[in-house]
Amino acid sequence: MKSWFKKYLIPICCLLSISSSVSGQFYGLSFSGSETVQDKRTGLDLSPDNTLCLDKSFRLSFDISFQPDQLEYFGYVFRIIDGENRNIDLISNLHSPDASHFVVINEGNSTPHSFDLQNTGIFSDWNRFVFDFDYENQEVRYSFLGISNVQSMSFEPGSCFKILFGANDYPKFKTTDVPPMNIRDIEIVEGGVERNKWLLDQHHGNSAQEKISGQNGHVRHPLWIRKMRMEWKLLKNFTTEGPISVGFNPNDELLYFIGLDSLLSFSCANNRLTRVPYESGRLHLLRGNQSFFDQHQKQLHNIYLDQETISTYDEESQTWNKNFEPPSRLTDNWQYNKFYSPVDSAIYILGGYGHFIYKNKVRRYHLPTETWDSIIPPADAFTPRYLAALGAVDEGAYVLGGYGTFSGQQIHNPTNLYDLVYFDVKERTFKKLFDLKVKEEEFVFANSLVIDEQNRSYYGLIFSKHQYNSNLQLIKGSLDSAVYIEVGNKMPFKFYDINSFADLYYAPKLDRFFAVTLFHNTENQTEAAIFSIAAPPIPVEEENHPETYPGYVIILLIGGTLLLGSVAYYFKKRNTTVPDSHTLARVPQKSQKPIIPGQPAENPHRNDIYLFGVFQLFDDKGDDITKNFTPLIRELFLVILLYTIRWERGISSEKLKDLLWHDKSAESARNNRSVNIAKLKTILAEVKGCQISKETGYWKVNLDPSQINVDYQDYNNIIQDKKFLSKNRIQQLIAIVQRGSFLSNLEYEWLDVFKSEISNEVIDIYINYTNSIDISEDPEFIIEIANYIFYFDMVNEEAMMLKCKALVHLGKHSLAKGVFENFKKEYKNIYDEDFSKDFQTILE
């Protein structure tokens, strides 16, 4: 039971801890000012349809902070106006060189106040501003940022007011001068009793909800802080010539886009893009180049790894110190990771992919001497990979996830990786920390992790590599446990691995995350997009939940977890088979109707597609409609279906032409495709949950797993988690593949890759499972598995050895000997040579 607590309860508690750290305390209303046109600036009216009438002395208070690094801070924080058009205003002018950072206007008289802005926390923390309006003494007392002051006023008991924050169009007081501020928790206390409270804790809409009397305010052009922490905002997109790359300067909070003839700089503070031409002439950028800003040396570098060349930019002279040579072939290094180490003043480059090889080589470029060296760690310490995320720290770097394979060869069943490893610069060693507890979807990473060592956490962007029209999702995880949560909404991302790049950055002064996507199109242009989200980002799911979970909810969650654990432990002790949660979560299930005695059983083959064994398709009535396919339409359907399931994005029209109509002109191929697609759609109209589409620019078969079952799709779902092999999952795999080898009655040249891949996968999974258990645990099942391996490979040596050992364990020595002798005969027939081992050797 103790091991169960360590394995399941502790990670769940860690996840609750992470969730609580992004609770709903981050709220308020942000005001857009001079960075936007006048018509789009933010204003808040606390009484949009009338006025606020206050009979007794009252207090107006609110929390305020200011957005850092803005160009202009002049504008009205608030205006309070009575029925006689007498007003008291608070004006911000934080950039003022004189003593007027804040000015109080009282019926035309101004009182300036100045502060040590760096030490007030006005740009990083909430500050309480309080204004007391005393009818009896005819004075207003105010205090903020350590300043207190008293002024006379003319307001009278029973006065009715307009209270306006930011922009307004109130007659005689209309203004569009708005400072870049954030406001929350506005309160009015009348006669010592709380009368109104506007928390400004919404995430959408134009209504500022009032919590006591229900007298809601109205917001023009709101920027809700909760929404800003849940949704990525597209700040800029542009297209420029050539294969550009991106680097981030966290000191000045600038994004650098390195182009062929100019450096483009995007200011994260004010969203302005500037272009500076190179004085050194055109830079010969090559596909696969990456850029990197070293914040320690304050230098911008461009890297082309194939030529072991790193070019450095001089901001003063606007020149690059090196250029690149045209390549003899396409780069051998895509999607690698890089970081600068202050320990040895070197740039480290890890992983990558090129020409069907995944890399785990670590290359080091020593900046002072401009020399290269490298190490190749063992694959069990750092599996060859690409599409991983890296986050640098003082003495090394964390590397998370990716896609690759132990051998580095793409043909050897590459898979998604979810391990977090730490690379120690001094020791030049890797240490695996843990594997992420991955949910249902498989994913890879954008290039960088944002590491928060103080809080032992990280942020990273994940996406599916199997989809062209993919999405980026931000996650927050722990450096000490395998749990993570999704925060923020998704961003669109076009992914094609040699044309796409994505990265994540954090701007500390702005306290915002920035994401950049690059896509190199067929016109030799790069499409760039810049997104931003406020920190700390919060889960989108919170928009429909209370800000914090009550204590009893957490108690119920933990209690429920303990109860489930006790049940699982009980069944385990009884040696009862518990359903495999991974399989239940992954394998799509059509709803099954109960069999009622006395009634005929429903046709079991309704809306089924079988690809293992002989190809068959059953319609909604359960009739076999395979005969309706002509040979060409059948091949067309299968190629679209297999490309959809295997790579998700489907297949392009150009690829279809190459496979099916390579001998025809483009126009003739197009006509043939149109005619046969129309015929195919007619056939599939009889099947539920299966339609042909071209919504993404690729031909796809849209499958609804609640209506249709495809055995190849079930197969893919089962084999996704090769690390979680169980008898239940192996039995489900057997149920699929026992119909026969994949599309055994069909032979197409393009199909050979699928058949070979599936045969190798099935054999590997069977053997991996048998190697994970002792023969004495289940010798009969091992014999069954060995027989199924023989379906795919008649002379598989490991299957023969497993079957012989299992038979001997059951005391069936003569049967084991017969299996061995038959294997020797088949081996001789196929390879025309004798099998080198004897019976006793294979049993040892």
Q: What single-letter DSSP state applies at residue 296?
A: T
State the burial class of residue 137 (Cβ atoms within 10 Å of its Cβ: 0-12, 13-18, 19+).
exposed
Q: What is the domain-level CATH number for residue 348? A: 2.120.10.80
**238/224 same-domain check:** no
More confident residue, 148 or 411: 148
Query: Whole-angstrom Cα distance, residue 469 to residue 537?
Result: 24
**Nearest one of 191, 227, 190, 187 to 210, comparing CA atoms:** 187
Q: In this predicted model, what pLDDT tens digit does every residue of 375-403 receive, in sequence order? A: 888 878 899 999 999 999 999 999 999 99
Please report, as a single letter, which amino acid is at residue 613: G
Query: Whole-angstrom Cα distance, residue 397 to residue 425?
Result: 8
Q: What is the domain-level CATH number for residue 690? A: 1.10.10.10
Domain limits for position 388: 233-544
The CA angle 329-331-332, to the nearest 5 degrees, is: 110
* pLDDT for residue 114: 85
Answer with the one of 691, 720, 749 that is the final residue of a domain.
Answer: 720
Q: In this predicted model, what pLDDT tens digit does every residue of 445-457 receive, in sequence order? A: 999 999 998 999 9
Please report, as a single letter, which amino acid is at residue 224: W
CB 594 within 8 A of CB 605: no
* pLDDT for residue 582: 35
Does residue 215 fall inside a structural domain? yes
Question: What is the number of residues in the chain?
Answer: 844
Count of domains forming the chain = 3
Q: What is the mean pLDDT of residues 717-736?
A: 78
* pLDDT for residue 431: 94
**207/324 same-domain check:** no
How far is CA 139 from its chain centroid?
A: 56
**484/625 same-domain check:** no
CA distances to 173, 320, 575, 777 from 570, in Å: 73, 68, 9, 21
DSSP string, 319-376: EES---PPPSSS-S-BS-EEEEETTTTEEEEE--EETTEEB--EEEEETTTTEEEEE-
State the burial class of residue 502 (Cβ atoms within 10 Å of its Cβ: 0-12, 13-18, 19+).
buried
Query: Whole-angstrom Cα distance, residue 95 to residue 532?
Result: 25
Rg of the chain (C-alpha set): 33
**129/172 same-domain check:** yes
Which residue intervals of 587-710 are DSSP H helices? Answer: 631-647, 653-660, 666-684
**Nearest one of 537, 544, 549 to 22, comparing CA atoms:** 537
- What are the residues whose beta carbons fall under 8 Å from the beta carbon of 10, sequence distance 6 or more? 481
Does residue 335 fall inside a structural domain? yes
In angstroms, the first-to-last Cα distance of the chain is 36
Query: What is the torsional sign of CA 118, 123, 128, 131?
Result: positive
Does residue 18 fall inside a structural domain? no
- What are the residues whose beta carbons fall under 8 Å from the beta carbon of 581, sequence distance 6 or more? none
Q: To which residue do tokens 């927050």 refer?
A: 476
Q: Percent of the chain, pLDDT > 70?
A: 88
Q: What is the mean pLDDT of residues 758-773?
A: 85
**312/207 same-domain check:** no
More confident residue, 622 or 189: 189
The CA angle 57-61-65, to the nearest 5 degrees, is: 165
Q: In this predicted model, what pLDDT tens digit does every residue of 788-808 receive, in sequence order? A: 888 777 888 988 999 999 999
Peptide bond into 536 cis (omega under 30): yes
**483/584 same-domain check:** no
* pLDDT for residue 730: 85
Please report, as a single letter, which amino acid is at residue 39: D
CB 525 within 8 A of CB 538: no
**94/158 same-domain check:** yes
* pLDDT for residue 404: 93
Neighbours of 138 (CB within 10 A): 12
Does residue 769 fall inside a structural domain? no
**Nearest one of 458, 483, 463, 485 to 539, comparing CA atoms:** 485
* pLDDT for residue 727: 82
DSSP string, 768-827: HHHHHS-GGG-HHHHHHHHHHHHHH-TT-HHHHHHHHHHHHHTT-HHHHHHHHHHHHHHH
Q: What is the mean pLDDT of residues 560-584?
A: 42
Does residue 729 fall inside a structural domain? no
Is the pLDDT assigned to residue 722 strictly greater than 90?
no
**Which SS3 state, helix, strand or coil, does residue 562 take?**
helix
Is the pLDDT assigned to residue 590 strictly greater than 70?
no
Is the pLDDT assigned to residue 307 strictly greater than 50?
yes
**360/390 same-domain check:** yes
**535/630 same-domain check:** no
Range with top average pLDDT, 450-464, 641-655, 727-741 = 450-464
Q: What is the mean pLDDT of residues 432-460?
A: 91
Helical pair 631-647 and 653-660, crossing angle rounded to 10 deg: 140
Mark residue 739 as left, alpha or beta (left: phi above 0; alpha: psi -120 to 50; beta: remaining): alpha
Q: What is the domain-level CATH number for residue 175? A: 2.60.120.200
Range with top average pLDDT, 189-198, 652-661, 767-776 = 189-198
Q: What single-letter DSSP state applies at residue 260?
A: S
Is the pLDDT assigned to residue 18 strictly greater than 90?
no
Is the pLDDT assigned to residue 55 strictly greater than 60?
yes
**224/262 same-domain check:** no
With a threshold of 0.85, does the pTM exceed it? no
Q: In this predicted model, what pLDDT tens digit does every residue of 544-554 receive, in sequence order? A: 444 444 443 44
Answer with the one of 720, 737, 768 that is the final residue of a domain.
Answer: 720
Q: In this predicted model, what pLDDT tens digit does every residue of 651-704 receive, in sequence order? A: 988 889 989 998 888 888 888 899 999 999 999 998 999 999 887 788 999 988
- What are the residues whose beta carbons fall under 8 Å from the beta carbon of 460, sequence distance 6 or more? 389, 391, 400, 401, 445, 446, 448, 449, 450, 474, 475, 477, 504
**486/397 same-domain check:** yes
* pLDDT for residue 252: 92
* Backbone φ and ψ of 808, nearest 5°: -65, -40
* pLDDT for residue 622: 87
Half-sphere exposure of 630 (CA within 13 A, CB side): 8
Does residue 262 fall inside a structural domain? yes
Does residue 766 fall inside a structural domain? no
Q: What single-letter DSSP state applies at residue 711?
A: H
Q: To which residue do tokens 């600036």 refer?
A: 41
Mean pLDDT in the chain?
Answer: 85
Is the pLDDT assigned to residue 351 strictly greater than 60?
yes
**331/374 same-domain check:** yes
Does residue 349 fall inside a structural domain? yes
Answer with the one of 700, 720, 740 that is the final residue of a domain.
Answer: 720
